Amino acid sequence: MGQVDGVEAQAAGRDAGRRARRRGAGGGLVARGGVFTLLGGAVWGLSGTASKFLMSSYAVDPLWLACARQMGSCVLFMAASALTARPQLAGCLRSPRDLGRIALMGVTAVMLMQVAYLEAIDLTNSATATILQSLGMLLVLAYACLRARRAPRRREWCGVALALVGTFLLVTGGDPGRLSLPAAGVAWGLATALSNALLSILPGKLIARWGNFVVNALQMLVSGTALSLYYQPWAHMPSLDAVGLAVLCAIVVLGTFGAYALYLQGVSDVGPLRAILLGTIEPVAATVASIAWLGTSFSGAEIAGFALVIAMIFLTA
């Protein structure tokens, strides 16, 4: 029964996609999708800066924040699934095979993404962590080339070269004899890139069958539960005042659930290519917020590194 529901949901999704493309030809959905994609990317970048604020001003542990983000957003994703995708949610819960795949992704890619991103922010800053996350595009490119059994195109090779030079400038500040970032921060940033690539590749068929809200709700549930059982966040409660609680709620509601919901709707409206290009606002928003809110300073070499990595996204998308 679950497989039948899944096929019907997938067919309905294809029909909806065709209708959306026809309506989008008039420009209305493309404009709306562009706005949603920009908002989703900007909110995600701002949530990284807000996370850095909690970790630096309230001594919030990155693992505690990862637990809070996942469990809080899981509740919202579950509610959204129950309201907008109840048949898909019920069908997925009756499919042991797909539940197993979602659970595997939850305890690997999703958990790695949440933990690595926050650890990278804690050890560096939100702008640098978001830029390092963008390097996952290179892994997605490598996967696409292997699957198509082709070599990278010229512009893709140029993108790889820009990414390597940009990463070098970020890590060394332009001086080959020293590291301008903590080695652990770089390692967590690269782990974020890996997890970002995995989340771009692995859930595709599951999302096509059951929908974004359902897959993300169950992934967050598995990952958040597993991490909470390991870390026991109830035993490490930070001391948050009204400002800290407000920032935490904004991170969960807007920076996690809201960012996903806006970005995924944007992808549906404008397509993945435009969404990837518009998504470059993430590191820009994180950089501006870091400077304006937290007073973070960047060297000329680091700014150049940011620009080169963003250029890589345009060349490899």
| pLDDT tens track for 284-317 | 888 889 988 998 888 898 899 999 988 888 887 6
Q: What string of H, E and C letters represents the secondary structure of the chain? A: CHHHHHHHHHHHHHHHHHHHHHHHCCCHHHHHHHHHHHHHHHHHHHHHHHHHHHHHHCCCCHHHHHHHHHHHHHHHHHHHHHHHCHHHHHHHHCCHHHHHHHHHHHHHHHHHHHHHHHHHHHHCCHHHHHHHHHCHHHHHHHHHHHHHCCCCCHHHHHHHHHHHHHHHHHHHCCCCCCCCCCHHHHHHHHHHHHHHHHHHHCCHHHHHHHCHHHHHHHHHHHHHHHHHHHHCHHHCCCCCCHHHHHHHHHHHHHHHHHHHHHHHHHHHHHCHHHHHHHCCHHHHHHHHHHHHHHCCCCCHHHHHHHHHHHHHHHHHC
Give percent above pLDDT 70 in the chain.
Answer: 88
pLDDT at 26: 44
Our count of domains for the chain comes to 1
Query: Is residue 161 very low, low, confident or very high in pLDDT (cuts 50, 70, 90)?
Result: very high
pLDDT tens, 60-103?
999 999 999 999 999 999 999 999 999 999 999 999 999 999 99
Comparing 29-33, 36-40, 224-228, the range with the smallest average pLDDT is 29-33
How does the average pLDDT of the chain come out, rounded? 85
pTM: 0.83
pLDDT tens, 231-247?
999 999 999 999 999 99
Residue 32 belongs to domain spanning:
2-316
More confident residue, 78 or 281: 78
